[in-house]
Structure 1
Amino acid sequence: MASDNIDLDSGADELIAKCLDLDAPQSFFLFAGAGSGKTGSLVRALKSVQARFSRELRLSGRRVAVITYTNKARDEIERRLEFDPIIQVSTIHSFAWQLIGGLDRDIREWLRGNLALEIADLRTAEAKGRAGKASETRKVKIASKTRRLERLDEVRRFTYSPTGENRGQAALSHTEVLKIATEFLAKPAMRQILVGEHPILLIDESQDTNGPLLDALFAVQAAHRDAFALGLFGDMMQRIYSDGRKGLGEDLPEDWAKPKKQLNHRCPKRVIALLNKIRGPVDAQVQTPRTRAVEGLVRLFVLPATTADKAGAEAAVAACMAELTKDSAWHEASGSKRLILEHKMAARRLDFLELYAPLYAVDGFKTGLREGSLPVVRFFTHEVAPLVRAQRADDRFAVGRLLRDSSPLLALTQDGDATDMPAALAAVRNALGELMGLFESGADPALVNVLRNIMGSRLLSIPESLQPSALRKIAPEAAHGNDEEADDERTAAIDRFLEAPFSQVIRYDDYVSGRAAFDTHQGVKGLEFPRVMVIMDDLESGGFTFSYEKLLGSKGEANEATQRLFYVTCSRAEESLALVTYSADPEAVRRNVIANGWFEPHEIEVMEPSVGISS
């Protein structure tokens, strides 16, 4: 048996550790393809800093900064470093806000100039445009931005939440925070502050880091190369968002180190061979499997785009994979991770579209909705649903814990007056009885009815963002007279969301929490699963950025963005991989993927509309 090649990339980690020297810092870009152990290299690099410079950093009050792409990645890195205070791990938005938060006078002046420019651009577009929906949208934006500009001096302190809605006069948007941080870093004083606080800055998933902000950090490094190390971890083939820096890694300064990792520790040999074929035309980077890697199995299933029962077809694919792999886990609902291109595809398959679609139509809601942090939904997923679940289970301890800090009824006893306790507990019991009455005999009440019940009984505090809809549903006259609010796009979306049945809250929460079988192509970057099914359906996804129909050859050449996304999804598989594509010309797909060498003829199954498997 051949010896294990696990140490093939050890030289890359050694070079990175050498770069992270406070006395002689050197910046670097680590090329690390899918499954190469990039996060492990990042953690080992940080541990080398801990071992050598922990005392020096503590005494000087400095910290190593790490930017991750997701909160989940941040939490994992912090856990593996035992929450060491000399390592500051944050997402890009949190990092940017840490730089600019509190600089209220400078932020105000930036907003003053930026709003004036945006208003001028909108007025120019309106003067050239024609009447219609686009014109009405521009007029609304002009009025909104003008009001904000006029009231700018009323704001004493600007606010921002990386995961919240960021509504209100004082709140900055996600986009504004990144733009402000980028422009402020052009100032020598801000650069000096950054370098003084963080002599080392490491960026994970650097290929998807906001391009202008990354350019600003390159400029900081160039101006302070003797005191500041910028370390980038990434792979341009895994760049799936459009605002990343193009050509990252191709035009690095000569004094930068360029370590590279070749091993793929995650995928079986057959999947790695496919990955090398996919990326071959892009950059010719080739990965090597571990010596102990299994062969694995890959199959491409091609179905007509007009297939009516797509959920049934995908179940048939899972059954076929179970037979081919002799792995019964493919039969289980949670046995494989099914990757879809767009969240609404999951909402249809998991049956929470009525909840999801109205909110996703509002740009300001999208990030929070995708992450499960949107307050209007979080009220139901994190307060109401756990309460209903605990009450059904007769778990009095859990019910008490949930209500203790969030029920206005129990707040009556916080002054320590024990005589209020019996009345408060009786009110809680009555309120719980009324709430649970909505679910009797298996009923599935609309969210608006649940909201109406809770607001009427005062069992829980209603979030500010839900109060207008709650008031309008309970007493229309209470909300009457605020026509601007009633006509607001957000309020209208919330009203439609509240018509969804309560059961969709549970299914939505399972999805955004990663407990469901589905996830998006973009959302699984950095994750891995034993069994993966990639679902490619241009018609259902309804977008223009990606086209799997073109990628697989039936309509000509695909754009590079689709090729990169395909690479990311395929590289999640640890054991077996099923690729399901819905095409207008299944036979053309079969011919083309064989011709380009991606698949052997026996690895392709053309499924008929009746969901049968052809030989």
Structure 2
Amino acid sequence: MTGRVETQADADVRACIDRHRSFALVAGAGSGKTTSLIDALARVREREGPQMRQNGQRVACITFTKRAVSVIKTRLGFDDLYLVSTLHSFLWEQISRFHDDIRQALREGRIPALIQKERDKDNGGNSRAATEARAKAASYEQDIAALDAVASFRYDDAKWGDYPGGRLGHDDIIEIATYLFAHNATFRRITGLRFPYIFVDEAQDTFPGIVSGLNLVGEGEGLPIVGYFGDPWQQIYDGSAGDFTAPGEGMPITKTENFRCSESVIRLLNAFRTDVKQYAAGDNAGREGSVLFRLVKAEKPELPRNRYSDDQIKRALARMDKAMADWGWADRDDVIKLFLANQMIARRMGFAELNRLFNGPYASTRAEEAFEAGEHFLVQPLTTILHPLVEAHANDRSREILDVLRRNSPAFAANGPNADNTLKEMVDTSLSLVGQLADLWASGTIGDILRFGVAKQLIPAGDRLIEQLDRQPREEAYVEEEHALDKGDWLADLLFAMRPDEIGSYASFIGENTAYSTQHGVKGEEYAKVMIVYDDVEAAWNLYNFSKTLTPSTAGEPTDGQRARGQRLAYVSFSRALEDLRVLFFTASPEAARQELIDRKLVKPEQIEIVGI
């Protein structure tokens, strides 16, 4: 977009600010939501900045990622009138001085909820998971009793807290703030006095309890006001707010311009989504672009659990390559290929065995999702620390080795065992350790490598990792009825026995150093040419079913959850395309699916082609 374009939505937001009225802006994909947010922030500075500075007040801008924080701060000129922050950082700044209130929230809200969660896991049996759940529930009860002895609390950069030690984790911050917003009028009043204007970016990704709490802060007439900027159709993870509304008599505002996508892509978005009708605006107005669906007869999966065999995956990838060649996209570097899950990507990039393990019978849904995100506790030390060290060693990059160790390794932390060494001694020690690691990487198993990393303090020794590394391998056969809650032991045993050959390819994929991505992974991005692969067998994921979402009369009706998730994820994926969109759609009934896509007016007949097996 070459020039500033003021929209009716921007004018409505400005009027709300001028009249001290809360609002909720729904901005479809490509609509310039961030520009609207920046304009709103600037309007407050223009009208009330001097008075707010004199009063010691600030404008709060809460956003979803550190990257977004950096972008917004830069566009505002790093003006300290604004507190631009991620949600967790903002909430901690508000609650961090109220230690007695934190204690109350833990005692009456957070910890009782954790106790109940563990009790729900306890089926009364003797499995390790059930036994651990009982032990955790008892431990949390002891934590409640220990709260009175905690003088103050601090926020650690960790998922879980240590309540007797006064340490709070990520999830604790959300739950404590939710409790205080709901139960503490003084806390709400202080928040509103400090921040007469609270703007929330990516509101659909904020937690429901926080939206409710901020609405309590902004209820009533006049300041403080709360302004939301987001899009419910771009909420792609469960657990976040999704829909959001302004407090009280706040104004709903819809932004209908699309400054990103070509005319063809926008027509598909409008046919797919009925609540917001967009039109091309700015430089993309009149840029036709193209949309094409290729329907491919899906093979019946040959493996248990509705899985493709290796040969079937090969054939599916061959069909993808054929489509790319037919479209003239085969060797272009401006094409992004989007999949729901990793099976085809893993085969193409070279981490098929690793992917198969984390999508197999020993992987829980949580383990699958953590693997998809690159966050599984067994694999993350390999991808973020150990593999980068081996790569740096192989390329003789000693400075990079030191950088990785200083950032991540307990042995080289400021208070670690090498803290008193001279620089030369530290360099010599690091190169020696990484040399040993590289030798082990070439000859050992993943279990050997992780044990070496822990023993030499190259990686943090988390409790779950140590528990898996220290126990004896499971010798008994896995029986679902008996061992379902402990299936992670079998997964770990198989992983530890594997060679590390696929870790590099998996790390490259997780690091987004590839033209392949999952559809979840490109939210907020844009590409000239986008190819999406829909194959419900390939996904093997009951949260989604795109055949049912796109062609319910042909494939059967999806569940309500599948429909909602599928629609949102498809919308996000479609709207990444600046110019051209291609959809490779594996379906059991290509002819019927073609007719249904036409009948639903998603695409025109000339935008669909069918290819047999």
Pairwise same-fold verdict (TM > 0.5): yes
1:198-239 Cα deviation digits (max 9, x unpaired): 22111122234322321222222114x422121111233334
Q: Which residue of structure 1 lines up, in the alignment, with residue 482 of structure 2?
A: none
Query: Does 2:207 align with 1:204?
Result: no
TM-score (norm 1): 0.79
Contact 2:160 2:172 in 1 (8 A): no
Query: Which of 64, 68, 72 is matched with 1:69 structurally?
Result: 64
Please give the secondary structure, in 1, of the residue aligned with 2:299.
Answer: coil
Partner of 2:27: 32
Tell me how far apart the structure 1 counterparts of residues 43 and 292 of structure 2 sit (CA, whole Å): 42
Which residue in 1 is equivalent to 2:136? Answer: 144
The separation in 2 between residues aligned to 1:363 and 1:560, in whole angstroms, is 19
Secondary structure in 1 matching 2:211: helix
Residue 562 of structure 1: aligned partner: 566
Aligned-residue offset at 1:83: 3.8
The equivalent residue for 1:313 is 316
Kept in 1: contact 2:447–2:469 (CA 8 A):
no
Asked if the contact 2:236/2:568 (under 8 Å) is kept, the reply is: yes
What is the deviation of 1:132?
6.8
Change (3 A) 1:572 1:401: closer
- Quote the Cα distance in structure 2 between the aligned partners of 1:11 and 1:179: 37
Q: Which residue of 2 aligns with 1:576?
A: 580
Structure 2 CA distance for partners of 1:501 and 1:266, relative to 1, 3 Å? farther
Q: Distance in 2 between matches of 1:263 and 1:300?
A: 25
Post-superposition Cα deviations, 1:285-334, rounded to whole Å, max 9, x if no partner, equal 3434546442112111222332754465345445534543x5x4x435x6
Q: Which letter maps to 1:79?
A: T
| 1:16 lines up with 2:13 in the alignment | yes
In the other structure, the counterpart of 1:303 is 296
The verdict on how the C-alpha distance between 1:10 and 1:462 changes in structure 2, with shifts beyond 3 A counting, is: closer
User: RMSD of the alignment, in Å?
Assistant: 4.1
Structure 1 residues 205, 398: closer, same or farther in 2, change over 3 A? Answer: closer
Letter in 2 for 1:313: A
User: 1:40 Cα shift?
Assistant: 1.8
Aligned counterpart, 1:182:
178
Shift of 1:267: 0.8
d(CA) in 1 for partners of 2:243, 2:263: 29
Going from structure 1 to structure 2, the CA distance change for 1:248 and 1:105 (only over 3 Å counts) comes to closer
In the aligned structure 1, how far is the partner of 2:376 from the partner of 2:190?
A: 33
Q: Are positions 1:294 and 2:287 aligned together?
A: yes
* Contact map agreement 1:337 1:519 (CA 8 A) in 2: yes
Distance in structure 1 (CA, Å) of the matches to 2:346 and 2:49? 47
In structure 1, the gaps of 5 or more residues are: 476-486, 610-615
- Give, in whole Å, the separation in 2 of the partners of 1:124 and 1:388: 43
- Higher mean C-alpha displacement, 38-47 vs 551-560: 551-560
Which residue of 2 is the match for residue 585 of structure 1?
A: 589
- Local SS of the residue matching 1:31: strand
The one-letter code matched in structure 1 to 2:594 is R
Give the structure 2 partner of residue 546 of structure 1. Answer: 544
- Give the Å deviation of 1:445: 4.6
Using the TM superposition, give the Cα deviation of residue 138 of structure 1 relative to its aligned residue in structure 2, in angstroms. 5.8
Matches within 5 A, 1:223-238: 223=220, 225-238=221-234
- Kindly report which structure 2 residues correspond to 1:494-509, keeping only aligned pairs within 5 A, or say none: 496-509=494-507
Unaligned runs of 5+ in 2: 301-307, 474-484
The equivalences for 1:433-512 within 5 A come to 433-438=435-440, 443=442, 445-455=444-454, 458=456, 460=458, 462-465=460-463, 468=466, 472=470, 496-512=494-510
* Matched residue SS, 2:524: coil
2:383 aligned partner: 381
AA matched with 1:305: A
Instruction: State the distance in 1 between where 2:352 and 2:199 align.
Output: 39
Superposed, 1:45-444 pairs within 5 Å as 45-101=40-96, 103-114=98-109, 115-116=111-112, 119=115, 140-154=132-146, 156=150, 157-158=152-153, 160-161=155-156, 164-166=158-160, 168-169=162-163, 172=168, 174-186=170-182, 187-223=184-220, 225-245=221-241, 248-249=244-245, 253-254=248-249, 256-280=250-274, 283=275, 285-290=277-282, 292-306=285-299, 309-310=312-313, 312-314=315-317, 316-317=319-320, 319-321=322-324, 323-324=326-327, 326=328, 328=329, 330-332=330-332, 335-342=334-341, 346-347=345-346, 350-352=349-351, 355=354, 358=358, 361=363, 372=374, 377-403=379-405, 406=409, 408=411, 414-415=419-420, 427-438=429-440, 443=442
2:262–2:285 Cα contact (<8 Å) kept: no
Instruction: Encode CA deviations 1:152-200: one digit per residue, 9 max, x unaligned.
Output: 33352555556x3426455556554333322211221110121122221
Q: Per-residue deviation at 1:79?
A: 3.5
Letter in 2 for 1:386: P
Larger deviation, residues 174-183 vs 36-45: 174-183
Please give the alpha-carbon distance, in whole angstroms, between the structure 1 residues aligned to 2:365 and 2:92.
21
Shift of 1:427: 4.7
Q: Distance in 2 between matches of 1:425 and 1:284?
A: 59
Letter in 2 for 1:548: F
Q: State the distance in 1 between where 2:436 and 2:472 align.
A: 16
Shift, 1:268, TM fit:
0.9
Paired with 1:438 and 1:50, the residues of 2 have a C-alpha distance of 58
* Cα distance in structure 2, aligned partners of 1:563 and 1:404: 44
Partner amino acid for 1:534?
I
- Report the CA distance between 1:579 and its aligned residue: 1.0
Aligned residues: 573
Match of 1:484 in 2: none
Structure 1 residue identity aligned to 2:388: P
Measure the CA separation in 1 of the matches of 2:410 and 2:133.
Answer: 38
1:444, 1:304 → 2: CA distance?
A: 43
* Aligned match of 2:476: none
Shift of 1:117: 6.3
1: CA distance, partners of 2:99 / 2:489? 30
Contact kept, 8 Å, 1:268 with 1:289, in 2: the verdict is no
Alpha carbons of structure 1 residues 100 and 539: separation in structure 2 relative to 1, 3 Å: farther
Q: TM-score, normalised by structure 2?
A: 0.79
